[in-house]
Amino acid sequence: MLSTTTKAIKLVMHLRKMGITDTCVLSALERVPRDLFVPNSQKHDAWEDIALPIGQGQTISQPYVVALMTQALELTDMDKVLEIGTGCGYQAAVLSKIARRVYTIERHKPLLDEAEKRFDQLGIRNITAICADGMQGWPKMGGLEQAPFDKIIVTAAARTAPPDALMTQLKEGGIMVIPVGEPGNQMLRKYERLSDENWAVSDLCPVRFVPLLPEVADQNGAAA
Ligand code: SAH
């Protein structure tokens, strides 16, 4: 049996080989214990470079994709980041190691509750997580506006383009990373807001994500 440290180092070496070069990103993936974010039945594969089921029909992304998306955000320790699709909280935890503050939205309340427990357990204090429809962006709460964000990361796929609310909530000079496309034909895209109306869009790689769905999930309904 390999120790967790050895498994973490093996994963980082693999990510380097796959082309991840940002040392802050590699160090964050080494330090966030992925085994804590997956169900007991999946723990043996927690440090493998594969996506795993996390309940409610959702998945935790493959570490390579987490690393690629995080690297594409070009994070600094001054950044305020918005994540849509908290899931088990793994990507948010990785972001929290590099950015100043992370705001994350999940539409499945049970997933959000579990993610928040993990942040507490790990002593992570710079993540604010809420249950809402992330397609609407971060809501104004108690008269307090958090938008605009330096960076936005969406970990569920939009059908054709990023939701308008998210484009509005990105700062000028900011970067949004988001998978776009129909199931089976999705591309991870980087949107850079060069000025108010001026965007540069580039393709990063083909990916497979669960779809971005509207509204908060019905707790009694089928998993979607
Ligand atoms: N970042 C996650 C990956 C979760 S999978 C992790 O590290 O585990 C994508 C998540 O997006 C799912 O949990 C799904 O419920 C959520 N999601 C889909 N549409 C959403 C929306 N409109 N608002 C908020 N969350 C959404």
The active-site residue out of 61, 96, 195, 202 is 61
- Into how many domains does the chain fold? 1
Q: Is residue 25 part of a domain?
A: no
Which domain, by its residues, includes 183? 63-207
Sorting pLDDT into bands at 50, 70 and 90, what band is 1? confident
Do 181 and 195 form a contact (C-beta atoms < 8 A)?
A: no
What is the residue with the minimal CA distance to atom 18 of ligand 1?
212
Residue at 93 is within a domain: yes
Residue 223 has pLDDT above 80, yes or no: no
State how far the Cα of 211 lies from the Cα of 219, in Å rounded to an integer: 18
The pLDDT of residue 222 is: 52
Strands 52-55 and 58-60 turn out to be: antiparallel
Tokens read off for 104 = 């994350």
Of 73, 106, 111, best ligand 1 pocket probe by most atoms within 8 Å of the beta carbon: 106
pLDDT tens readout for residues 30-78 = 999 999 999 999 999 999 999 999 988 899 999 999 999 999 999 999 9
Q: Is the pLDDT of residue 172 over 60?
A: yes
Predicted confidence (pLDDT) per residue in 68-116, tens digit? 999 999 999 999 999 999 999 999 999 999 999 999 999 999 999 999 9
Predicted confidence (pLDDT) per residue in 191-208, tens digit = 999 999 999 999 999 999
- Tell whether 52 is covered by a domain: no
Residue 219: the pLDDT is 80
> In this structure, is residue 161 part of a structural domain?
yes
Give, using CA atoms, the residue closest to atom 11 of ligand 1. 85
For residue 124, is it within any domain?
A: yes
Q: What percent of the chain has pLDDT over 90?
A: 94
For residues 43 and 100, give the distance between their C-alpha atoms in angstroms, rounded to a whole number.
Answer: 29
**Mutate-to-test residue for ligand 1 from 29, 66, 107, 119, highest number of ligand atoms within 8 A of CB:** 107
In angstroms and rounded to an integer, the radius of gyration of the C-alpha atoms of the chain is 16
pLDDT at 2 (0 to 100): 86
**209, pLDDT greater than 80:** yes
Query: Is the CB of residue 20 less than 8 Å from the CB of residue 106?
Result: no
pTM of the model: 0.97
Active site residue 202: no
Question: Which residue's alpha carbon is at the smallest distance from atom 13 of ligand 1?
Answer: 87
Residue range 119-144, pLDDT digits in tens: 999 999 999 999 999 999 999 999 99
Q: Residues lining ligand 1, CB < 6 A? A: 54, 58-61, 84-85, 87-88, 90-91, 105-108, 111, 133-135, 155-156, 210, 212-214
How confident is the prediction for the chain on average, in pLDDT? 96
Distance CA 48, CA 14 (A): 10
Q: Is 32 part of a structural domain of the chain?
A: no
Residue 6 within any structural domain of the chain? no
- What was the pLDDT predicted at 200? 98
Here the CATH number for the domain that contains residue 160 is: 3.40.50.150
Asked, for residue 215, whether it belongs to a domain, the answer is no
